[in-house]
Each structure stands twice: as C-alpha cells, then as structure tokens.
C-alpha cells in the first residue's frame, strides 16, 4: 500500500472536529488508541482532503475557525457546501440559512479531490441526504462510510460499489464503549456464565446536538429499532427489550448516560437483577472505531478482498448487513487486520 488514506468528511459537527483533533494528537502519542496499528497503518497515514457542511454559519469558514485553539494540518481547509435533500435540522434553521450545492456540483467537487473514503457524519434524521451522498460517492468513484442511521447499505448498493472496486460500509456507527456495545457485552457475559436474560431496557440521555436531532419521533423510532435488534443478537434466547434515546438534556453537553435495568434467571430460576448507569463522552467514543475500520477497509481494498466487508461492518456498525456476536466480530477483525 502506498500513499495516505484520504478522507472527505461530510458534516463538520462533533465527530468530525474530534477526528481533526485526534489526527493532531496522535502524531506523537498512542495513548487512548484501541489499536495503534491496523494493517501496518497508524493515524499518521490519514489525510483529510475536503470537508463539507450545509450550515451557512460553517460553509466558507476554515476548519481552524471551527476547531479553535487547536493546531491542525487541516486548519486551512475551507468548508464546502454539501447537498441538502431533507428539511434542515432545527439548529441550522436557527443559525441562519442552509448553504448547499447541486448534486452535480457536489459530485464534480468530489471528483476533483478524489478521496479514498467519503465519511458521512451528517445529522441524524437526514435520510435522503445520506442516500444521496452514498450515490454521489459511487458516481465519483470513492468508497463510502456511513456513520448515520440512514439505510444506505443494501445488497444492491454493495454490488454497485464493488463492481467499481470500491466499498460501502454502514450503517449506524457503534461506538467503542457506548450504550449499545456495553449492553451487548453484558448480555454476552451473562450468557457465557449460564445466566439468561428475561427482560431489559437501556434508556439513553444525551446533551449534544445529535441527541437533540434524534428526539424527532421518526428518527428516535428508527434508532430504537436498530439498537434493540443489535442488542438482541447477543442472547441465545428471546427476551423482552427496549433500547433507545429517551431524553435530550442540554446540561450533559457532549456526554451521554445510559441507564440499564436487566432481569435474568439462574439455577432454579433464581432472580438476578442489575441496575446501573454508564456515562461516556459521545464524540470521542466513535473515533477509534472510525479510524480502525477505515484502515481495515483500505487494506481490504488494496487486496480486492471484498468479503472482509462483513467483518469490518459487524465490528463498526449497529446495523450491518450481516450481524455477528460482539466477541466474534472483534476477534475476526483483530485476526484479519492486527499485524
Ligand atoms: N459516538 C458517536 O458520536 C456516534 C455514534 C453513532 C452514530 N453517530 C452518528 O454520526 C453522525 C455525526 O454525529 P455528530 O455528533 O458529529 O453530529 P453533529 O450534530 O454534531 O454534526 C452534524 C453536522 O452535520 C451537518 N449537516 C447536517 N445535514 C447535512 C448535510 N445534508 N450535508 C452536510 N452536512 C450536514 C450539520 O450542520 C452538523 O455540522 C450523526 O448522524 C450521529 O448519529 C455518532
């Protein structure tokens, strides 16, 4: 493999700005990295080639104006207009106007930059825009990484990307140690000790922009279904379950609290009850998974090993086309890419 992995980031919000800070910090450190090297690649092997948004208060500004007080190699990149196919989230309407480009203008802009990966980090609830970004990446000949809950990965889109020698990865990023991953890990551990779950819930409360956007009824329901199905796979027997975002509380800032309650049974059906909470930082929680899976995808692309998409997607997303147990997908990912 030669050259850097170039990214076009779509949506310059919490996650994108955290990635920018991470690429600077990890020039000289590995502290806090899940996997410092994947496929022989470090975080120094990334570059950001372009950034896009539709918020008029961001478009035209430099990354350095948004990620203030942080040195970055990418500080001089200007935020370009993306495409807007949905009603803008309320925060954009409050900030002013939407500034967008036509589909053709956007595809031409991508073709000029030719990033390896278009990384979709736009607001929750922008389903049509996410689907359009996937199509634009395909038309421009770039791989597509979908962190949002929009449904972009189907057998059809996979085949279309693979026929051009590129990949589509998604949907809905699973944070490194967020509400869903932790919930799945607890069920897996219980089942491995012969304790079987009967009922559970996971109630997520967060304070950032994305949580606020998730409160829209349709988006909340979609995310609830994805989380509940993602968690269900860990239990060998069906159980009654609800998992989803229940509240936006501004005072939590960029953190998220997941409240868990579980009722299980042991020998003679003796009761086991668990009640706990987990508080994490939302935007940092996604970044290790993003940089790991894109490095793995870069390696798979260079060896034209498209079958690895299933492993990468099960590791990185809550709603991959092929679901795997959390323990199995981490093992399969590390067996494939840790060298
Ligand atoms: N741990 C995590 O942070 C995590 C985990 C899972 C999924 N995700 C998903 O990743 C995405 C990004 O999260 P975030 O916290 O950075 O969100 P955010 O709300 O902070 O940022 C979203 C950005 O996208 C921009 N945007 C909205 N519509 C756009 C469009 N059509 N084109 C270009 N830009 C557009 C907004 O103006 C904003 O700058 C969300 O969809 C979120 O659900 C994040």
Q: State the closest ligand 1 atom to the C-alpha of 86, by its place in the atom list counted from 1.
A: 31
Q: What is the mean pLDDT of residues 96-114?
A: 95
Superfamily for domain range 179-282: Dihydrodipicolinate Reductase; domain 2 (3.30.360.10)
Give strand ranges (E) for the chain.
5-10, 46-53, 79-81, 117-120, 143-146, 168-169, 196-206, 240-248, 255-265, 271-281
Q: Which long-range contacts (CB under 8 A, 24 or more apart) does 91-95 make?
A: 91/55, 91/209, 91/212, 91/213, 92/54, 92/55, 92/56, 95/55, 95/56, 95/57
- Estimate the share of the chain in helix, then strand, then coil, as percent rounded to the nearest 5: 45, 25, 35
What is the model's pLDDT at position 339? 72
Give CA–CA dist 117/128, Å, rounded: 20
The mean predicted confidence, pLDDT, of the chain is: 95
What is the model's pLDDT at position 1? 57
What is the model's pLDDT at position 138? 98
pLDDT in tens, 133-158: 999 999 999 999 999 999 999 999 99
Beta carbons of 106 and 77 less than 8 angstroms apart? no
Residue 260 beta carbon below 6 angstroms from any ligand 1 atom: no
Closest residue by CA, ligand 1 atom 7: 173
pLDDT in tens, 260-294: 999 999 999 999 999 999 999 999 999 999 999 99
Q: How far is the CA of 213 from the centre of ligand 1 (A)?
A: 9
Q: How far is the CA of 25 from the centre of ligand 1 (A)?
A: 22
pLDDT in tens, 26-76: 999 999 999 999 999 999 999 999 999 999 999 999 999 999 889 999 999
Q: Per-residue pLDDT for 93 more than 80?
A: no
What is the model's pLDDT at position 95? 63
| Burial of residue 91 (number of CB atoms within 10 Å: 0-12, 13-18, 19+) | middle
Residue 283 beta carbon below 6 angstroms from any ligand 1 atom: yes
Q: Per-residue pLDDT for 179 more than 90?
A: yes
Q: What is the mean pLDDT of residues 207-221?
A: 94
Non-local (6+) Cβ contacts of 130 within 8 A are 120, 122, 146, 148, 150, 152
Determine how β-strand 255-265 pairs with β-strand 196-206: antiparallel
Q: Per-residue pLDDT for 123 more than 70?
A: yes
H or E, element range at 199: strand 196-206
Structure tokens at 113: 């930059």
Q: Per-residue pLDDT for 250 more than 90?
A: yes
Structure tokens at 184: 């799945």
pLDDT in tens, 301-335: 999 999 999 999 999 999 999 999 999 999 999 99
5-174+284-337: what fold?
Rossmann fold (3.40.50)
Closest residue by CA, ligand 1 atom 6: 173
Pocket mutation for ligand 1, best pick of 122, 175, 177 (most atoms within 8 Å of C-beta): 122
By percentage, how much of the chain surpasses pLDDT 70?
A: 98
- CB burial string 286-300: b at 16+ within 10 A, e below: bbbbbbbbbbbbbbb
Residue 131 beta carbon below 6 angstroms from any ligand 1 atom: no
Closest Cα to residue 205, out of 282, 262, 146, 274? 282
Structure tokens at 102: 């036509």
Beta carbons of 63 and 51 less than 8 angstroms apart? yes
Residue 148 beta carbon below 6 angstroms from any ligand 1 atom: yes
- Residue 333's SS3 state is helix
Q: Per-residue pLDDT for 131 more than 90?
A: yes
Q: What is the mean pLDDT of residues 191-203?
A: 96
Closest Cα to residue 140, out of 111, 106, 172? 111
Give CA–CA dist 38/320, Å, rounded: 21
Domains 5-174+284-337 and 179-282 share a fold: no
What is the model's pLDDT at position 92? 79
pTM for this predicted structure: 0.97
* Secondary structure letter of residue 241 according to DSSP: E
For the chain, the domains span 5-174+284-337, 179-282
Q: How far is the CA of 338 from the centre of ligand 1 (A)?
A: 29
Q: How far is the CA of 262 from the centre of ligand 1 (A)?
A: 31
2 band by pLDDT with thresholds 50, 70 and 90: low
Q: How far is the CA of 274 from the centre of ligand 1 (A)?
A: 32
Beta carbons of 232 and 185 less than 8 angstroms apart? no
Q: What is the mean pLDDT of residues 11-33?
A: 97
What is the model's pLDDT at position 88? 84
What is the model's pLDDT at position 3? 79
Q: How far is the CA of 270 from the centre of ligand 1 (A)?
A: 44
Structure tokens at 329: 């997908």
């Amino acid at each position: 493999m030669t050259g850097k992995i170039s990214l076009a980031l779509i949506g310059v919000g919490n996650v994108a700005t955290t990635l920018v800070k991470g690429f600077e910090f990890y020039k000289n450190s590995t502290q806090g990295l899940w996997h410092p090297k994947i496929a022989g690649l470090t975080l120094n092997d990334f570059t950001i080639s372009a950034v896009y948004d539709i918020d008029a208060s961001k478009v035209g500004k430099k990354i350095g104006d948004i990620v203030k007080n942080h040195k970055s190699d990418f500080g001089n990149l200007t935020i370009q207009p993306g495409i807007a196919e949905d009603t803008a989230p309320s925060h954009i309407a409050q900030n002013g106007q939407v500034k967008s480009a036509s589909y053709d203008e956007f595809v031409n802009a991508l073709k000029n930059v030719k990033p390896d990966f278009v990384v979709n980090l736009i607001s929750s609830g922008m389903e049509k825009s996410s689907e359009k970004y996937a199509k634009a990446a395909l038309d421009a000949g770039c791989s597509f990484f979908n962190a949002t809950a929009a449904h972009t990965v189907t057998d059809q889109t996979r085949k279309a990307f693979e026929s051009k020698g590129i990949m589509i990865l998604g949907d809905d990023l699973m944070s490194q140690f967020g509400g869903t991953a932790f919930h799945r890990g607890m069920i897996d551990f219980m089942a491995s000790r012969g304790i079987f779950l009967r009922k559970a819930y996971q109630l997520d409360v967060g304070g950032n922009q994305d949580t606020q956007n998730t409160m829209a009824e349709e988006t909340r329901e979609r995310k609830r279904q994805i989380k509940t199905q993602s968690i269900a796979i860990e239990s060998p027997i069906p159980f009654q379950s609800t998992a989803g975002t229940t509240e936006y509380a501004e005072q939590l800032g960029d953190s998220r609290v997941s409240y868990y309650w579980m009722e299980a049974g042991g020998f003679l059906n003796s009761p086991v009850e668990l009640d706990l909470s987990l508080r994490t930082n939302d935007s940092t929680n996604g970044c290790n998974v993003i940089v790991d899976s894109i490095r793995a995808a870069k390696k798979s692309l260079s060896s034209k090993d498209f079958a690895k998409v299933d492993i990468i997607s099960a590791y990185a997303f809550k709603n991959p086309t092929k679901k795997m147990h959390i323990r199995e997908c981490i093992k399969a990912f590390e067996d494939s890419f840790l060298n």
